[in-house]
Amino acid sequence: MKKIHLYGNWKMNMLPEEGVSFARALAERASGGWYSANAVDICLFPPFVTIGAVQQVLADRGDLSVGAQDGFPEDRGAYTGAVSMAMVRDLGCTHVLVGHSERRSLFADDDEIVATKLKRALDLGLKAVLCFGETLAERESGATTDVVDRQLSTALDGVPGDSMGNVLLAYEPVWAIGTGKNALPEDAQAVCRHVRDGVRKKYGAVVTVPVLYGGSVNEKNAAGLFEQPDIDGGLVGGASLDVDKFLGIYESYRRATEG
C-alpha cells in the first residue's frame, strides 16, 4: 500500500466548538489499530477562527496536522480582512492551501497571485498544497491540459527543486467540486500522470511530489481513485465534515487494497 494523504478542507464550516469535537473524535479514532502515520498523512484545514481550537486539541499529536485554507503573502500592512502566511505559521499551522478554485473564482486569485502566495508559503517553511484544475467549459473544449500546464507553470516558475519537498499538488476539476459529480478514475489519473511527468521534466526524477485529487471525494469512490498509480490521496470537502465519512474514505481504500 502506498502512503495516502487525506486532507480535509472544511471551507466556511465548523465553529470552534464543532472543530474541537471533530478533532477529539479524530484523535481517538486515529490511535493504534488500523492507523499508522506511515500509511496515511492526515491534515485538517479549518476556517481561520477555528484553527486555534483545533490546534490545541491536536498539539500533542505530531502525526495529525492542521493547515490554513489561504494566506496573504505580505506579513503586515493595511490589508483589512487578510491573514498573512506568517500569522498562519505562528498559529501552529504546518500546511496551507494555495490557489483553491474558490479562491480563484470568488476572490480573483489569478495565476500570478497564486504564484506569489506559493513562494511566500515556501519561504516560511510551510507545506503548500497547490491547487489547480479546469472548468467544465474548458474541459468540454479540450483545454484541460493547456489550463493545467498554464496554472502550474506560472506557480512553479522560480521555485527551486530543493523547495519542492514542501509542495503537494491537488488536481481539482472545478466542475466536480461540491457538485456530487466526480471525474472517472482513469480521467483523473490521466491528468495526475501528466502533471507528475511535467514535474519530472522540470526538476528531474529525484524530485517526487504527492499528487492529490479533489472533487466530491467520498467513501464510495475513494478506492477507485486512490488505486490509480499517480493519485496519492484526496483533498476532501463536504465529506471531511463528518469524522466517520472522512476516515471512511481512507478505510475504503485500505479494505480494497488488502482484499
* Whether 100 is catalytic: yes
pLDDT tens digits along 146-194? 999 999 999 999 999 999 999 999 999 987 776 666 688 999 999 999 9
* Whether 5 is catalytic: no
Q: State residue 182's pLDDT score.
A: 67
Q: Which three cell numbers stand for residue 232?
A: 496519492
Enter the DSSP assignment of 12.
Answer: S
Structural domains in the chain (count): 1
Q: How many CB atoms are located within 10 Å of the residue 227 CB?
A: 14
Segments forming the whole domain that contains residue 216: 4-258
Do the beta carbons of residue 125 and residue 89 sit within 8 Å? yes
DSSP reduced 3-state for 97: strand
**What's the gap between Cα 227 and its chain centre?**
18
Enter the DSSP assignment of 8.
Answer: E
Q: Which residue is catalytic, options 102, 134, 138, 172?
A: 172
Residue 225 scores a pLDDT above 90? yes
For residue 154, give the amino acid letter.
Answer: T
State how far the alpha carbon of 169 is from the alpha carbons of 16, 213, 222, 251, in Å.
28, 9, 17, 22
Q: Which residue is catalytic, options 95, 100, 102, 134?
A: 100
**Cα atoms in the 13 Å half-sphere on the side-chain side of 199:** 27
For residue 31, what is the domain's CATH number?
A: 3.20.20.70
pTM, entire model: 0.96
pLDDT tens digits along 93-131? 999 999 999 999 999 999 999 999 999 999 999 999 999
Q: State residue 52's pLDDT score.
A: 97
For residue 116, give the amino acid letter.
Answer: T
